[in-house]
């Protein structure tokens, strides 16, 4: 994989991580470690964002009002919950992603059709 490919992959993951966190917190409140482990499990180990990456996203999302963290988990861990503002952002993000994936799939089909010819 080229350096450019790795950079592109990293950018996609970074943008997707915020949406993934919101989606997981909509399902249930979690601490940073649980979020990291859930992503690892759901991707079969293909994507394991570091604890510091998860934590920095949680801080940023808290400041934006998308989530709220409260101490109270095991050993005083901060447990995060999605806020109504975060639910609205998630709803809009899912709509945009669905439209993007639909358009991208048409493009990819055309691209592979050209490659086969």
Query: Residues 42-79: pLDDT tens digits?
Result: 989 988 889 999 999 999 999 999 999 999 756 788 99
**What are the structural domain ranges in the chain?**
3-116
Return the CATH number of 3-116, one of 1.10.3720.10, 3.30.1330.80, 1.10.10.10, 1.20.1280.50: 1.10.10.10
What DSSP state is assigned to residue 72? -
Determine contact, residues 48/36, Cβ cutoff 8 Å: yes
Query: Residues 15-47: pLDDT tens digits?
Result: 789 999 999 999 999 999 999 999 999 989 988
Pick from 115, 106, 93, 117: which is nearest to 17 by CA? 93
């Amino acid at each position: 994989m080229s350096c450019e490919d790795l950079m592109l992959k990293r950018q996609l993951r970074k943008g997707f991580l915020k949406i993934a966190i919101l989606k997981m917190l909509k399902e249930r409140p979690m601490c940073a470690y649980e979020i990291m482990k859930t992503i690892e499990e759901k991707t079969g180990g293909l994507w394991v964002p570091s604890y510091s990456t998860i934590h920095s996203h949680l801080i940023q999302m808290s400041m934006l009002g998308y989530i709220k963290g409260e101490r109270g988990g095991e050993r005083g861990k901060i447990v995060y919950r999605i806020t109504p503002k975060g639910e609205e952002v998630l709803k809009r993000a899912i709509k945009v992603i669905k439209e993007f994936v639909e358009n991208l799939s048409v493009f990819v089909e055309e691209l592979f059709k050209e490659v086969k010819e």
